[in-house]
Amino acid sequence: MEEKIEARVSPAKVWEAWERAHAQHGQSGIVNGQKGVSGASQSKLRYEVVDVIPGQQFSVIWKTLFVRLVFSHTVKPTPRGSEIRYSVQIKGPFSWPVRWLLGNKIRRNIGSVLRAIVKQLEAA
């Protein structure tokens, strides 16, 4: 599942926003191999940041029992600003039922998130 959108802001501005959102306490920026836990106490999800190319891309892998969700973030320069791309991969032994149950919801949410990010960045 993948969505992309064009924004009238520089790739550097998009990357800065991602760094603010994903950097951990005391860290500056997004770091390859960065690990953490998020969610409520009963439904905590472990994640790891991989494939970091500063200023261009990174992926976040969310791990649950028998399923891994890989959220990839990419930004590229365009003549009018930047192209922002999100993709989601569902992997693991139980990936097909998760894809079947949540695939359409994930697609809608990716598009909504991208539009909200672009609106916020262009307003700043």
Query: Per the structure, how many domains does the chain have?
Result: 1
- Give the E-state strand segments of 35-80 in sequence order: 35-38, 45-53, 57-64, 67-78
Residue 27 token pair: 């860290």
Residue type at 102 in one-letter notation: L
- 92: helix, strand or coil: coil
Q: What pLDDT was estimated at residue 29?
A: 82
How would you write the pLDDT of the chain (124 residues) with one tens digit per residue? 899 999 999 999 999 998 888 776 667 788 888 887 776 656 677 889 999 999 999 999 988 888 999 999 999 999 999 999 999 999 999 899 988 998 889 888 998 989 998 999 999 7
- Which structural domain, as residue segments, surrounds residue 83? 2-36+44-123
Backbone angles phi, psi at 78, to 5 degrees: -130, 170
CATH number at residue 24: 3.30.530.20
